């Protein structure tokens, strides 16, 4: 932790209420026309929520799960959302109507879902069955409009990748920019899989259980070769007291590792601003560190429970934190006016 006598700017976040239990995961959609994007939050109350990505304003709640929702993701075209739940299902929803389109049946708790980088009709799932599966939704057209029930797809209609490889529950799945590469976080191990051969091609054992594993990217209109990762997405992983980062099309080129003085519950990466944000564990603060030298730049206080998920917006102008306290906070990451912030530099009195 930095010198307590050093004055720090006061960053005033926006707080998103509405959930009644802890928020284990948040993620943003890609950027749409007119710089519109959305945020989805998973919650242990079983009611994932869709929000305006810039303001945090509530758009709708996806109703239908009968257990905690551990993860939620929006499709590349933002027309559907996928959620992973303790009710032994993953579900796919229409983001415009809130209608449930697909129920993906499993035999145990589902912890992770992932769409390909630019394909909205494929979905990967994983969880306590310790199986990485791919569902092809194109082969199962959704029920016609107005019909009474969604399409139910059993796991027998999915295909398994890396059969027998996982020995612990799959907590995170990442689909690399290269669509033939999938990455899983299970226990303390990261694994890379080749989709055409369905084989595990690489495994890295980290210092402790992996608490956070996300592919971080900016919209093409906002990315640059001078960004971290050279304009490509970057895999950001938190395990123990270490934040690890990999780049490249297959997300397997090691970029940097940072060993911190405290445990890490989550990590987010500012590709353009060249800094990373972590949720401390144990604790309730978010620490901001420099990518160049690992020096602490700021500390964000305000949550009343551990921060389980950190996500940067697709334009990089804000990031969100999801917490055990049941709230989401949105932190400004740009100069001037943005969203509901009135203007001024991040953390200034004009915010």
**Domain of residue 297, CATH code:** 2.130.10.10
Within a domain: residue 263?
yes
Predicted local confidence at residue 349, as pLDDT: 37
Nearest Cα residue to 266 out of 320, 331, 218: 320
Q: How far apart are CA 346 and CA 351, in angstroms?
A: 7
In the three-class reduction of DSSP (H, G, I as helix; E, B as strand; rest coil), residue 35 is classed as helix
Within a domain: residue 249?
yes
Nearest Cα residue to 232 out of 221, 242, 247, 252: 247
With a CB cutoff of 8 Å and minimum separation 6, the contacts of 280 are 262, 263, 264, 265, 286, 287, 306, 307
The 10s digit of each residue's pLDDT in 38-78 is 999 999 999 999 999 999 999 999 999 999 999 999 999 99
The 10s digit of each residue's pLDDT in 4-38 is 434 344 468 999 999 999 999 999 999 987 789 99
Question: What mean pLDDT is predicted for residues 291-306?
Answer: 96
Predicted local confidence at residue 347, as pLDDT: 44
Domains contained in the chain, number: 1
Within a domain: residue 348?
no
pLDDT exceeds 70 at position 317: yes
Within a domain: residue 340?
no
Q: Please report, rounded to a whole number, the percentage of residues in the chain having pLDDT higher than 70.
A: 92
Question: What mean pLDDT is predicted for residues 235-254?
Answer: 98
Residue 72: which domain range? 14-332
Within a domain: residue 347?
no
Within a domain: residue 6?
no
Within a domain: residue 337?
no
Within a domain: residue 119?
yes
Question: What mean pLDDT is predicted for residues 155-177?
Answer: 97
Predicted local confidence at residue 149, as pLDDT: 79
């Amino acid at each position: 932790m930095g010198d307590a006598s050093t004055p720090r700017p006061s960053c005033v976040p926006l707080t998103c209420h509405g959930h009644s239990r802890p928020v284990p995961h948040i993620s943003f959609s890609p950027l749409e026309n007119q710089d519109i994007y959305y945020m989805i939050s998973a919650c242990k109350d079983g009611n994932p929520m869709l929000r305006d990505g810039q303001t945090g304003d509530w758009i709708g709640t996806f109703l239908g799960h009968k257990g905690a929702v551990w993860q939620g993701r929006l499709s590349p075209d933002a027309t559907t959302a996928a959620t992973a739940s303790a009710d032994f299902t993953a579900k796919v929803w229409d983001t415009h109507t809130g209608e449930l389109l697909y129920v993906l049946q499993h035999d145990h708790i589902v912890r992770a879902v992932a769409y390909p980088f630019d394909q909205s009709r494929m979905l990967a799932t994983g969880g306590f069955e310790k199986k990485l599966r791919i569902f092809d939704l194109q082969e199962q057209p959704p029920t016609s409009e107005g019909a009474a029930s969604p399409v139910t797809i059993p796991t027998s209609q999915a295909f398994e990748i890396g059969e027998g490889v996982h020995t612990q529950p799959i907590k995170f799945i990442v689909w690399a920019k290269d669509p033939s590469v999938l990455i899983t976080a299970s226990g303390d191990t990261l694994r890379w899989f080749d989709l055409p051969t369905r084989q595990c091609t690489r495994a890295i054992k980290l210092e402790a259980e992996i608490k956070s594993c996300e592919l971080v990217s900016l919209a093409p209109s906002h990315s640059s070769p001078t960004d971290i990762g050279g304009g490509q997405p970057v895999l950001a992983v938190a395990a123990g007291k270490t934040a690890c980062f990999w780049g490249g099309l297959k997300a397997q080129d090691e970029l940097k590792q940072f060993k911190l003085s405290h445990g890490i519950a989550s990590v987010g990466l500012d590709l353009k601003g060249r800094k990373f944000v972590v949720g401390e564990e144990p604790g309730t603060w978010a620490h901001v560190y420099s990518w160049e030298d690992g020096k602490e730049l700021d500390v964000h206080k305000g949550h009343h429970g551990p921060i389980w998920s950190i996500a940067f917006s697709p334009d990089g102008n804000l990031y969100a934190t999801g917490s055990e306290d049941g709230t989401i906070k949105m932190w400004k990451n740009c100069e001037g006016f943005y969203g509901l912030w009135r203007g001024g530099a991040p953390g200034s009195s004009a915010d």
